[in-house]
Structure 1
């Protein structure tokens, strides 16, 4: 186990805010080195592939749950707002799939609907399990949870993701109606608040994933926040930049023809997965920067914290 000294900036930090700028520079540099050592680029490809396979089951669960409180057709009409940062070909792919799922939805709460929702969540959770495995690697943890517990956590995270999208769709669908009666200034302010809330939901969702996914004693929320914020910012900027490139400079339609939408969407999923895993690496290295206990509960000495990064600290 490495020992820290006062020469390490942030060696005694009780929160990420107490780590000085020089310490954060070290954290970010190590995070990129570790992402290369952990083969995050390949891990992101696997997560993107299984995420793509989980897309349709997740959409089925999304539309079914949304249909219990509102018209499922609203999903199709508001998806454009949620996927605005995607390239046009990827937007049409997602919209087409949602349209087909909406067309098959009856919107009523029946035993068959409940079974179909559970089946869809179970299928979609396989993609979540792959994300959990990748986050484990980012935190230098070895998976030791039983199959039942692992699946239960994956199901809970998948359901949480679906509920998140339902809330996001509701924000996109309901906000314009509420803002119609306001003046220009009120509408602009309302739009800003709406998107700030959406970004905030993404940050919270990532923080929960970083805290629950790895097989370790859970870190305090303050130690999963930096990676969540950085990953969210990178994801928003990266998605917009990727969309701009594909729509203006890419030649995917010429190269892949009718498969262009699928290829572009897979590339966007790859970009998303890489950024999410990079956020986990940043959180991991932030914990490694301090010798203070970063896990929940009463502070424990190094070696007894149940987490690889919390049980060690960087050398000077």
Structure 2
């Protein structure tokens, strides 16, 4: 993929923006579509938080979205979608209801309230403003990974989490890409070492090129038995999909969680994957859909590893160490 950045912005018509507050230890990431995109999604974690996720069910009326929002802040972070809606409304975007337009902005949140950042924000949480800032910052092309946007305060059982992304091209020439904020209750790495569970899927040393260890430690590692977590992300393709097919693509994204995190989809995870189609390229056969689902699994696994690999520790006392802190010379 010589012309690709290995990011979700490899999909034509997709922009990404971050709002990051290192002192707060939290942030917001927005994925914006130039035109409404056919979308769906699935929640497989036992402790989710989201906004307008029900409308993504294939049986619901609204077929397309203007943007997705990923945010820290737990339930307080749900204000971020309001800021994104405000910015999209300024642009005249949204689902038409008579003379009114309502921007459709599904959101998922992660729990980052216990990471050492300053959460004493007063009466109103800052996430509405951060959502607006993230939308204003949204652009095509390269964007930061690791401790930024919704990944700012993300953690895992073993290392600092963060924003990751990856892309691929199908045999039919369709592009598919993932973005994820890795805030898992479990671990993206194997045992106490530097190796990633996603190692079999790695491309071009994108997260260190270490491969698998000689001995695989399967013992469960959790960042807490009573601490909610959540890994949240999206898969987007330029292939034409129906809403039902987008729903299937989101499930394949969850398969990537299962290949890159151990364990995943726990009772205190809120694991959520959105999926969307920009419909830039026609397709109507089952074989191409199955390949897109296969690739969605792989790119989500790769994106998760990249999010942890790129992360840096928060500049606050007691912050969780990043992979790069423990293994600065491993790659």
Q: TM-score, normalised by structure 2?
A: 0.27
If asked which structure has higher relative contact order (CA below 8 Å, sep 6+), I would say 1
Larger Rg: 1
Higher helix share: 1
Higher strand proportion: 2
